[in-house]
Amino acid sequence: MIRVILFGAGGRMGRLVAAELAEQGDMTLVAGVEIQGHPDIASTTSGAPVYTDGDELPEADVWVDSSLAGPALSHARKAADTGMPLVIAATGFSHEEESELEQLAGQCPILLAPNLSVGVGVLHHLAGDAARLLGDDFEPGVFELHHSAKRDSPSGTALRLAEQIAQEGTQPGIASLRAGGAVGEHRVHFVGPDEELVLVHRAWSRRAFSRGAPGAVRFIVGRKPGLYTLRDLFNPD
């Protein structure tokens, strides 16, 4: 049985991830963690007690972080000290913070997956393959849409898509829109002289982003230290 601790357990995404993990037959959520003063402290989430961040936590086999970039980096430092496998589903890291995560991953396995959607994982593959197959005759671009309260722009998912495309060809531009209650949409355009290829992923509910959490947990447990991405998650070999 895989024992999981979930950071950011009281947030909208954290609650969905907690419920998803609790439904699995091969893992158990042993604790949720939230910032000091959060109303969920000393309550439960999907049957697991919620601790204050900084408290002594129960033993676990893996940590999952769905909080924010700052706390997630702090948790990554603690994970590196103990060799704890870590799944980070937070976004908004600066280049300097990502560089530190890469260094910390030399001490523990870290899966940096700002979007745990299965569809987005496949989109990464398709975007990279399309960039390689279409070549320099097609100019790439990434568009993303999220709800108006989303803090980071571009999204972590859009940045990862752009990186994937750049590895196979040209660095694409990114256009971002924040409006209303949009759950999430990512489009990758490859525009040629006479035609266009468009790859689209649309999330209809936030649960699309939590469904991949159990697979991410199974993936990272037992891995060697290193920084892993969505592409690794959906193509582990």
Catalytic residues: 146, 150
In degrees, to the nearest 5, what angle opens at C-alpha 164 toward C-alphas 159 and 167? 125
165-202 burial, b at 16+ Cβ within 10 Å, e below that, comes to beebbbebebeeeeeeebebebbbbbeeeeeeeebebe
Helix, strand or coil, per DSSP, at residue 13: helix
- Sign for the pseudo-dihedral over CA of 100, 102, 108, 114: positive
Residue 59 CA to residue 195 CA, distance in Å, equals 55
Helix, strand or coil, per DSSP, at residue 120: helix
